[in-house]
Amino acid sequence: MAVDRTNVVFILSDDQGIWAAGCYGNPEIRTPNIDRLAAGGVRFSNFFVATPVCSPSRATLLTGRIPSQHGIHDWIRGGNLGPDAAPYLEGEVCYTDLLAAHGWTCGISGKWHLGASQLPQHGFSHWYVHQAGGGPYYNAPMVRDGQLIDEPGYVTDRITDDALGFLDAHGRSSAPFYLSVHYTAPHSPWEHHPQSIVDSYDDCPFLSCPQEPRHPWATSLTDRCLGNRAMLKGYFAAVTAMDDNAGRILGRLDDLGIRQNTLVVFVSDNGFNCGHHGFWGKGNGTEPRNMYENSIRVPFIVSHPGTIPAGQVQGAMVSAYDLMPTLLEYLGLPIPEGRHLVGQSFLPNLLGHDRPGRDHVVIFDEYGNTRMVRTKEWKYVHRYPDGPQELWDLVHDRGERHNLVDDPAQAARVRDLRGLLDDWFTRHVEPGVDGVTQPVTGLGQLRPVLPGWPGRGPAYHPRA
């Protein structure tokens, strides 16, 4: 599709709800650069992650495969560093592997969180990453040139500084480049962000984040944050500081004269609730884990001047597992064989065309024993083996307030959606890593669970 060996800048935020950007209808939070990117490209209103927590979601974005194929079911707690460091995506084919093999210079600046953080992997020749997945915003633990360092300064700025250095080094090269800019923002902690930005939200009413009565399934994060204005100001400040830095990247592309030949993608690894539904967090912000819209639906914006139309809003139903085939088709690269990819390209939607039937695509999610099937109008959530189950009417109950799963009038719909869910996962899971058979707790994965990997203790952090 793309000509002249298009460059790619892939900006990935961490824990950013779809509501947390001005272009998605929030008048309180300041995101002028993300908004400008949307004005110059296509903004998707129905982009879903495959898992509402970071590491498995990131793995799906890179591989086009679901957790019950690639084996990452929870955020990676063990195997990032030290003698037990484990490359969780060993044996997988990422789209960056294919880009590197076809002449793209690939770099990453920011959060990796897919194991063995000191080891450059999957086609990346430039490797500046977070040692784990999150932590302090000042003196953050990073990896540079294979060495563990505490990076002075504000980590969102430092990630951008490194990304700008990569652009300066490769922006005018005859070879195309791919650059992942993976911010840790706006992930917790929501303290110690630039004070001027924090103070700028002093008078914000935060109507976009109603602090609802505590959800009965809420975890301890909610107890620390619900109703806490300081946490709200910190979250908003983290987003705005990240937006400032996204603007620096877009500005450098302009300065180098390569914006017209660069595809820019902006997306979050999972959604987030800041008091919505009465809890703080994403899929593991409740126990049992949840599939609320604010956990699974994320901002997704794509811009390429002169190729992708400007100022369009696309309502097509799209999943993270569709990204890999779409990006490869856009760049004119082959789909890898034998990988059992579950997604399909949505390139026509990127180009401003309504692909027939795309609005009626069915979306599937999983997080351990919790699985979801979502149509344009309905969502069914099934928890194996014993529930609780949920059925949401997304046309008449967009806020997901009235669970209809026990309504006798909906029995046939529940049966049909359950059948769709079971059939899809039966066709696509790899038995050795089937999420339903894994005791995923939401408290972190300690080692890979792929067949043949030497086991050293339990794979998941146990619940107390």
The CA angle 324-298-157, to the nearest 5 degrees, is 90
C-alpha 59 chain-centroid distance = 9
Amino acid code (one letter) for 358 = R
Pairing of strands 7-13, 390-393: unpaired
pLDDT tens string, the chain, 464 residues long: the values are 444 689 999 999 999 999 999 999 999 999 999 999 999 999 999 999 999 999 999 999 999 999 999 999 999 999 999 999 999 999 999 999 999 999 999 999 999 999 999 999 999 999 999 999 999 999 999 999 999 999 999 999 999 999 999 999 999 999 999 999 999 999 999 999 999 999 999 999 999 999 999 999 999 999 999 999 999 999 999 999 999 999 999 999 999 999 999 999 999 999 999 999 999 999 999 999 999 999 999 999 999 999 999 999 999 999 999 999 999 999 999 999 889 999 999 999 999 886 666 667 899 999 999 999 999 999 999 999 999 999 999 999 999 999 999 999 999 999 999 999 999 999 999 989 999 999 999 999 999 997 667 667 899 999 86
Q: Which pTM was predicted? A: 0.97
Instruction: Give residue 357's pLDDT.
Output: 60
Q: Which residue has the tokens 């430092």?
A: 158
Q: How many residues does the chain have?
A: 464
C-alpha 240 chain-centroid distance = 18
In angstroms, the CA 290 to CA 287 distance is 8
Instruction: Give residue 3's pLDDT.
Output: 47
Instruction: Give residue 353's pLDDT.
Output: 80
Q: What does 376-443 look like in DSSP terms, one character per residue?
A: SSEEEEEETTT---EEEETTT-TT-----TT-GGGHHHHHHHHHHHHHHHHHH--GGG-GGGS---SS
Of 389, 382, 419, nearest to 405 by C-alpha is 389
The H or E element spanning position 373 is: strand 370-374
In angstroms, the CA 418 to CA 413 distance is 8
Cα distance between the two ends of the chain? 52
Determine whether 337 is exposed, middle or buried from the number of CB atoms within 10 Å of its CB (0-12, 13-18, 19+).
exposed
Instruction: Give residue 14's pLDDT.
Output: 98
Pairing of strands 370-374, 378-383: antiparallel
Q: Is the peptide bond before 385 cis (omega within 30 degrees of 0)?
A: yes
- Out of 2.40.30.10, 2.40.50.140, 3.40.720.10, 3.90.280.10, select the CATH number for domain 7-356: 3.40.720.10
**Residue 177, token pair as written in the block:** 């480049």
Beta-carbon-side half-sphere exposure of residue 6 (alpha carbons within 13 Å): 25
In angstroms, the CA 232 to CA 269 distance is 20
**Residue 328, token pair as written in the block:** 């490869």
Amino acid code (one letter) for 400 = E
Question: At residue 305, what are phi and psi to the nearest 5 degrees?
Answer: -55, 135
Exposure string over 406-438, b if 16+ CB within 10 A, otherwise e? eeeebeebbeebbeebeebbeebbeeebbbbeb
Q: Which residue has the tokens 């109507």?
A: 207
- Provide the H-helix boundaries in 171-288: 195-199, 220-225, 229-255
In angstroms, the CA 373 to CA 202 distance is 40
The H or E element spanning position 221 is: helix 220-225
> DSSP E strands: which ranges in 229-347?
262-268, 273-274, 280-281, 297-303, 312-314, 318-319
**Residue 137, token pair as written in the block:** 């915003």
Contact partners, residue 357, CB within 8 Å, separation at least 6: none
